[in-house]
Structure 1
């Protein structure tokens, strides 16, 4: 019995392979081996490919089993899988499981200095900014995360302001996806954007919304006079 257990540990250490029904201890040994392999990849694109094509298919079933058992305990395997989901752009599953991590008070992986709310807010905002710049949709993930930014996550002022700014920019984008108050004809929409930009400014004065506020005021005056 002890010989078989030692063999499983040795296999996990050398190959990163643990039995499908193996203990969390064995999975974590395998995970350490895979994390070393991941770290050895010099290109970010190679790391993403490894996470998407190899590590997530390998470890996701263990997370699903952990969640199905409905027993809460510190599970760093769960934490790593959640981070990988964001890294490969699987935001639907990533956000859902990150919220569970927050609820369960799971620590973030050891190599991360941010807590879960800051990690999720940073990751989704970065994705939203790229999407918006390319004229692509940002929903439903933008609204899902902004709801928490607005209502219950105590993020630092800078990140909070950046989120409010982004939401304001979405209200004044033209048909090409560029923020342009002069392209908006709805006064109420302009007023709403102004309030949002002012909130961003109140959180962090250097977030860069003063010019937008001034242009919105000019646009409202022009529409009103016209």
Structure 2
């Protein structure tokens, strides 16, 4: 969708429709702009089913998602919490496509208004958000890479208090613990010790919580390293 006028029109139409339907007991069904996007979503879903590769599906979603941006912007700007299968599905698609910031924008709205996930999704919204972000972060960390700490913190802020299996919540705390811990190197300079201790304290809290929730989460060695570094960077006694 490259036409700015068309994008603006769809954004405004979505905002007006979303503002007119209030509450989780209501649904966007019957709103023309919603029905059009729901039909498009079904067509795109059929296209995705023809792709067997997970990477291929993610790439196709990255190509398709920009076409839904005006709808998402309008719904999030003026929505009053009506059930919306387009939004909930796009939230998951954005995560699949690697757009976690965009997914969390939708997740914040979806969880705040207690929107229901489509029937084909077996997990609750909070579980999906926490687990999907955490698993990608843990995969990157295991491979020696990093994951944006701010995205993990925002994920915890949005989904951390939702009811979910302990193992799912443990993954999020584990990813957070690792992300805080990786900010501190073994040879941290003296002038950075206060910052290092702050990061290590946060890492210890999250890693400890992850282990508490799921003993075999894989964070014990990370916690040992954090505790060792905390002793190394301990404040000098007076």
Matched, 1:48 2:58: yes
Equivalent residue, structure 1, for 2:20: none
Counterpart for residue 28 of structure 2:
none
Report whether the alignment pairs 1:78 with 2:87. Answer: yes
Distance 1:30 1:218 in 2: 54
Partner of residue 92, structure 1? 101
Q: Give 1:119's aligned residue.
A: 128
Aligned match of 2:216 in 175, 188, 206? 206
Gaps in structure 2 of 5+ consecutive residues: 1-30
Q: Which moved more, 1:137-146 or 1:188-197?
A: 188-197
1:63-212 alignment to 2 at 5 Å? 63-132=72-141, 133-148=143-158, 150=160, 152-173=161-182, 188=197, 190=200, 193-212=203-222
Query: CA 1:75–1:183 in 2, change beyond 3 Å: closer, same or farther?
Result: same
Note the aligned Cα RMSD (angstroms): 3.3
> For 1:113 and 1:203, how far apart are their aligned partners in 2?
22
User: Residue deviations 1:169-209, cap 9 Å, x none?
Assistant: 2343388xxxx8x6678584555544433222221222233
Do the aligned partners of 2:133 and 2:152 also contact (CA within 8 Å) in 1? yes
Q: Does 1:37 align with 2:47?
A: yes
Q: 1:184 to 1:202 in 2, by over 3 A?
A: farther
SS state at 1:41 partner: coil
For 1:195 and 1:69, the matched residues in 2 are separated by: 38
SS in 2 for 1:140: helix
Contact 1:194–1:213 at 8 Å: present in 2 too? yes
**TM-score, normalised with respect to structure 2:** 0.67
Q: Shift in Å at residue 134 of structure 1?
A: 3.9
Structure 2 matches for 1:13-32, cutoff 5 A? 22-32=32-42
State the 1:42 CA deviation.
1.5
Higher relative contact order (CA 8 A, sep 6+): 2
Cα deviation, residue 86, structure 1: 1.3
Q: 1:151-182 deviations in whole A, cap 9, x for unaligned?
A: x223321122222222222343388xxxx8x6
Give the gaps of 5 or more residues in structure 1: 1-20
Distance 2:227 2:110 in 1: 43
Aligned-pair CA distance for 1:39: 0.9
The aligned runs of 1:211-222 (5 Å cut-off) are: 211-214=221-224, 216=226
